[in-house]
């Protein structure tokens, strides 16, 4: 990992040599030079990595809202690829591995042209927010440009502070919270102000994201800070109502973390001042105390409804904002995959001792693995855990033989139930269309997203994130020179979907009439079995267990506002 001091030296230089071997742009902030790369189809494109959009959030700026970057002298060398925000990344090691830098607020711009200045007609802009449970990942972790650069669009990938450094909240005006989301807002403002210099159209920004990035996209619809900064959005496998999005007991977590690093002050201002004096390693490593088993729960720090401050990203609970139609009304696509729960369940299949652990310690571990430790009353947790396991596994044990059923359980709880509710609520109040698709294509050569976490080349289903692999190439592995026929067709159809949506507000899939989600009818989705077999279908996969989930007393969404529940 490149340290902050080294990055600063490499990225700024008054005497940077320019030549025809480097793409070049001039912005109101200063000059920028990048590198040339080749797309999947051998098109030369311009890549500008790690351009700063905010002042380094270090020292007194730790735990503060991001500040716009100042202009620079000389030429910015935008060729440094891997700048991770400090994090404990999800690896096979229990609790994860520490990596990253606190100075990490950068974005990357990819232009399908060797000379961005020669673009006459401004291009549509696709912005991608990375996933990682608000806890890990980076701008270029999962979203490579090689496929999209075969199309005439500009891609921007953004970073934002993660975990305790991005989402600590003292539930007052000292640290209201959501600084990671405010980082994203500032990045969108940078794009609005500077993307013209790269040949992009600031009036045609499509905001996309995977998982926590998908939830982020949906949250931007709900935030007053994001109004007018994008024209449409795509939430791949994430939404604002997912159970892992909102952080429970943020002040309690801040105090627990403080106690772990020797900061036991009761006054929140003094607590935060003490936390500012601790190293990033101390703070981020200490988050492991909130994960009692492996990497679970995967999102202990996340978004909050802000109770203080003058610049609130989220002023009310997402459920109420959706119910009351208080959101930015532009077109939206939401998606699910057939086996969403392979994140994080694929990790459990790598060691049969994990199955044994889950079976023997189910009452202890279920609230963490299924993320209801804080949202089910202590006296009811055991009954809830038994009820869920019985509904899916009957009297069978958790094992390799029942793994696929266990994945269904994880899928429904962590992703699918909330996706259906969010799509339905959003569509009910919106004038703009909401489109839903369900991805069930098990590819031939494009690897499954689950391999990022298991490091094992096996396919247990269509994982969380697998659809995105056909749109954003995997930058961590070499590009396959030529994909198998069906993978190639799938890639082209999903690229067509995204680029047509970016230019017309309507996603086009050949030979399929993709109907938006209705206002009162059962939710219908575009069911993608393979690139030659797609049709409109009613959501049925969660039908068997929908009433069971609805009967559980979660202190979440409608469970927090029972009088506000609508019969849609």
Local confidence band at 458 (pLDDT 50, 70, 90 cut-offs):
low
The residue with greater pLDDT, 71 or 474, is 71
Query: Where are the extended beta strands (E) located within 211-361?
Result: 232-236, 332-337
- Render pLDDT for 218-265 as a digit per residue (tens, 0 to 9): 999 999 999 999 999 999 999 999 999 999 999 999 999 999 999 999
Q: Is 223 annotated as catalytic? A: no
Q: What is the mean pLDDT of residues 374-382?
A: 98
Lowest-confidence segment of 136-150, 172-186, 224-238, 264-278 by average pLDDT: 136-150
Residue among 223, 464, 473, 556 flagged as catalytic: 464
Question: What is the token pair recorded at 334?
Answer: 């939401």
The CA–CA distances, whole Å, from 259 to 63, 95, 246, 374, 521 equal 18, 19, 23, 20, 51
What's the confidence (pLDDT) of residue 97?
85
pTM of the model: 0.95
Active site residue 279: no
Q: Please state, in angstroms and rounded to a whole number, the distance separating the CA atoms of residues 73 and 398.
A: 60
How sure is the predictor about 4, in pLDDT bands with cuts at 50, 70 and 90? very low
> C-alpha distances in angstroms, 204 versus 79, 102, 326, 378?
26, 31, 22, 48
Give the pLDDT confidence of 43-61 residue by residue, as tens digits.
999 999 999 999 999 999 9
CA angle 66, 72, 73 (to 5 degrees): 170
pLDDT > 90: what percent of the chain? 84
Instruction: Give the chain's largest Cα–Cα span.
Output: 71
Question: All domains of the chain, ordered by start, with CATH?
Answer: 30-560 (3.40.50.1820)
Q: 46, 211, 299, 335: which one is catalytic?
A: 211
Mean pLDDT, to the nearest integer, of 288-298?
94
Rounded Cα gap, residues 230 and 376, in angstroms: 37
What pLDDT score does 9 carry? 37
What length does the chain have?
Answer: 568
Verify whether residue 211 is a known catalytic residue. Answer: yes
Q: What is the pLDDT of residue 8?
A: 41
Could you tell me the two tokens for 77?
Answer: 């060398």
pLDDT band for position 457 (cuts 50, 70, 90) = low
- Is the bond leading into 344 cis (omega within 30 degrees of zero)? yes
pLDDT of residue 455: 60
**CA nearest 84: which of 138, 130, 155, 43?**
138
- pLDDT > 60? residue 73: yes
Mean per-residue pLDDT, 165-171? 98
Q: Parallel, antiparallel, or unpaired for β 24-26 and 106-111?
A: unpaired
Buried b (16+ CB within 10 A) or exposed e, 254-265: bbebbebbebee
Instruction: Name the residue among 94, 92, 157, 93 with its Cα closest to residue 130.
Output: 157
Of 49 and 446, the one with more pLDDT? 49
List the beta bridge partners of residue 144.
Answer: 473
Other C-beta atoms closer than 10 Å to the C-beta of 445 total 11
Whether the CB-CB separation of 292 and 371 falls below 8 Å is answered with: no
Q: How far apart are CA 169 and CA 248, in angstroms?
A: 10
**Residue-level pLDDT at 539:** 83
Exposure of 92 in the CB half-sphere (CA atoms within 13 A) = 14
Q: Report pLDDT for 521.
A: 79
Residue 404's pLDDT band (boundaries 50, 70, 90)?
very high
Q: How far apart are CA 237 and CA 219, in angstroms?
A: 14
Residue 450 has pLDDT above 80, yes or no: no
Do strands 533-538 and 524-530 pair parallel, antiparallel, or not at all (unpaired)? antiparallel
Q: How confident is the model at residue 520 (pLDDT cuts 50, 70, 90)?
A: confident
Place of tokens 């994140």: 343
Catalytic residue, from 102, 306, 340, 558: name it.
340
CA Rg value for the chain: 23
Q: Using pLDDT thresholds of 50, 70 and 90, give the confidence band for residue 479.
A: confident
Closest CA to 127 of 146, 152, 102, 110: 110
| Structure confidence by residue, pLDDT tens digits, 485-501 | 999 999 999 999 999 99
Residues 6+ apart with CB under 8 A from 267: none
CA-CA distance, 167 to 248, in Å (whole number)?
Answer: 12
Confidence of residue 7 (pLDDT cuts 50, 70, 90): very low
Query: Is residue 10 over pLDDT 50?
Result: no
Residue 309 has pLDDT above 90, yes or no: yes
Q: How confident is the model at residue 205 (pLDDT cuts 50, 70, 90)?
A: very high
| Residue 506: pLDDT band with limits 50, 70, 90 | very high
Average pLDDT, the chain: 92
Given this model, what pLDDT does residue 5 score?
Answer: 42
Per DSSP, 480 falls in state P
CA distance 492 to 470: 8
> What sections of 290-449 are H helices per DSSP?
318-323, 342-348, 352-360, 362-369, 381-393, 403-411, 417-429
84-125 pLDDT, tens digit each: 999 998 876 676 789 999 999 999 999 999 999 999 999 999
Two structure tokens written together for 461: 């289903």
With a cut of 50, say whether residue 6 has pLDDT above it. Answer: no
């Amino acid at each position: 990992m490149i340290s902050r001091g080294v990055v600063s030296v490499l990225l700024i230089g008054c005497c940077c040599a320019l030549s025809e071997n480097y793409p070049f742009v001039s912005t109101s902030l200063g000059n920028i030079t990048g590198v040339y790369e080749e797309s999947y189809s051998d098109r030369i494109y311009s890549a500008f990595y790690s351009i700063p959009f905010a002042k380094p959030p270090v020292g007194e700026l730790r735990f503060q809202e991001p500040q716009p970057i100042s202009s620079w002298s000389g030429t910015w060398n935008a060729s440094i690829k891997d700048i991770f925000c400090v994090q404990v990344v999800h690896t096979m090691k229990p609790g994860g591995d520490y990596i990253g830098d606190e100075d990490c607020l950068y974005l990357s711009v990819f232009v399908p042209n060797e000379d961005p200045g020669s673009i006459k007609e401004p291009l549509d802009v696709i912005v991608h927010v990375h996933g990682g449970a608000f806890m890990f990942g980076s701008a270029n972790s999962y979203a490579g440009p090689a496929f999209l650069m075969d199309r005439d669009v500009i891609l921007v990938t953004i970073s934002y502070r993660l975990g305790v450094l991005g989402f600590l909240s003292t539930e007052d005006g000292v640290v209201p919270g959501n600084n990671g989301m405010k980082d994203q807002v500032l990045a969108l403002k940078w794009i609005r102000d500077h993307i013209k210099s790269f040949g992009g159209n600031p009036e045609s920004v499509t905001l996309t994201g995977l998982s926590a990035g998908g939830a982020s996209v949906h949250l931007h619809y709900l935030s007053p800070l994001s109004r007018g900064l994008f024209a449409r959005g795509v939430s791949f496998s994430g939404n604002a109502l997912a159970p892992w999005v909102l952080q429970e007991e943020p002040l309690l977590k801040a105090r627990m973390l403080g106690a772990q690093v020797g900061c036991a002050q009761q006054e929140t201002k003094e607590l935060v001042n003490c936390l500012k004096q601790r190293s990033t390693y101390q703070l981020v490593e200490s988050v492991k105390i909130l994960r009692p088993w492996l990497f679970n729960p995967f999102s202990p720090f996340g978004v909050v409804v802000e109770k203080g401050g003058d610049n609130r990203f989220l002023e009310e609970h997402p459920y109420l904002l959706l119910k009351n139609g208080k959101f930015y009304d532009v077109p939206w696509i939401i998606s699910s995959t057939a086996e969403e729960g392979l994140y994080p369940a694929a990790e459990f299949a790598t060691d049969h001792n994990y199955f044994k652990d889950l079976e023997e310690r189910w009452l202890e571990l279920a609230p963490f693995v299924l993320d209801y430790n804080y949202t089910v009353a202590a006296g009811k947790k055991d009954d809830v855990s038994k009820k869920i396991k019985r509904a899916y596994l009957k009297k069978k044990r958790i094992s390799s033989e029942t793994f696929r059923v266990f994945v269904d359980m994880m899928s429904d709880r962590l992703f699918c139930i909330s996706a259906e509710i969010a799509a339905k609520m959003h569509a009910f109040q919106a004038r703009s269309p909401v489109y839903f698709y369900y991805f069930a294509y098990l590819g031939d050569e494009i690897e499954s997203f689950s391999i990022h976490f298991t490091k094992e080349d096996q396919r247990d289903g269509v994982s969380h994130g697998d659809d995105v692999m056909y749109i954003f190439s995997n930058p961590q592995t070499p590009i396959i020179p030529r994909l198998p026929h069906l993978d190639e067709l799938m890639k082209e159809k999903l690229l067509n979907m995204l680029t047509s949506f970016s230019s017309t507000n309507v996603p086009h899939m050949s030979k399929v009439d993709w109907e938006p989600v209705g206002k009162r009818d059962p939710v219908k989705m575009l069911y993608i079995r393979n690139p030659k077999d797609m049709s409109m279908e009613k959501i049925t996969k969660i039908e068997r267990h929908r009433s069971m989930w609805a009967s559980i007393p979660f202190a979440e969404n409608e469970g927090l506002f029972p009088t506000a529940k609508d019969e849609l």
